[in-house]
Amino acid sequence: MREILGRRRRLRFRRKRRPAHVDAALLYATEWRWPVLPGVGLAAAGGRGERQRGLVCACPDPECVVPGAHPFDPELLAASTDARLVRWWWANRPDAPVVLATGGRAPCALSLPAVAGARALAALDAMGIRLGPVVATPTRWSLLVAPYTLEQLGELLYAKDRVPSSLRFHGEGGYLLLPPSDTGTGQVRWERAPLAGSASPWLPDVEAVVDALVEASTSTPDGGSRLRY
């Protein structure tokens, strides 16, 4: 009888852990209307030294530079807000990373290296700039912004004398991993989480954020950039 109870306890524990990714994916897709798809994820390295060698990207490329942190199968164009499809994807791969297809009607993002991202948030807070959600990994922080087109982004950057070299733009045709995904560099988390219970998170315009980042980057006393690293 004790063995049966112990088995039930283990099953209950598994049921509590398993839904985290699918619940997050369903929230993004069905409530916020953000198109998502499962990322490639991680796999245990083969051979006897598996524990020592750790995890590698589940894609076929042995030299993958973003292990676990990109779409593979299905491809990015398959991103969807359909609840049935989202459930089917994560029923088959419950630990798959949650990938947001940026652009179109979906959020876009600006990302910086983690150290520069922390400095950027402090600078923008000091300037009174209202920000939306911020996604963080151990290596990069991403500021979510309202959708923009590549043409809008091009005009915006053309008008600037300089922008921080550490900035990356995730717009149309791009993607971004969302919490609670795991990657080869560590877990994806909210540095600034969306307000609980919001129908859809508020997002700032890309122009306001880029303007503030350029000002923060070029306002150091020695003329250097605090957002370089």
Helix (H, G, I), strand (E, B) or coil at 45: coil
CA distance 191 to 186: 14
More confident of the two residues 48 and 130 = 130
pLDDT of 200 reads: 87
Chain centre distance of CA 109: 9
Q: Can you tell me the mean pLDDT for 108-113?
A: 94
pLDDT of 52 reads: 36
Residue 152, both tokens? 């809008």
Backbone angles phi, psi at 53, to 5 degrees: -80, -20
CA distance 77 to 174: 10
pLDDT of 46 reads: 65
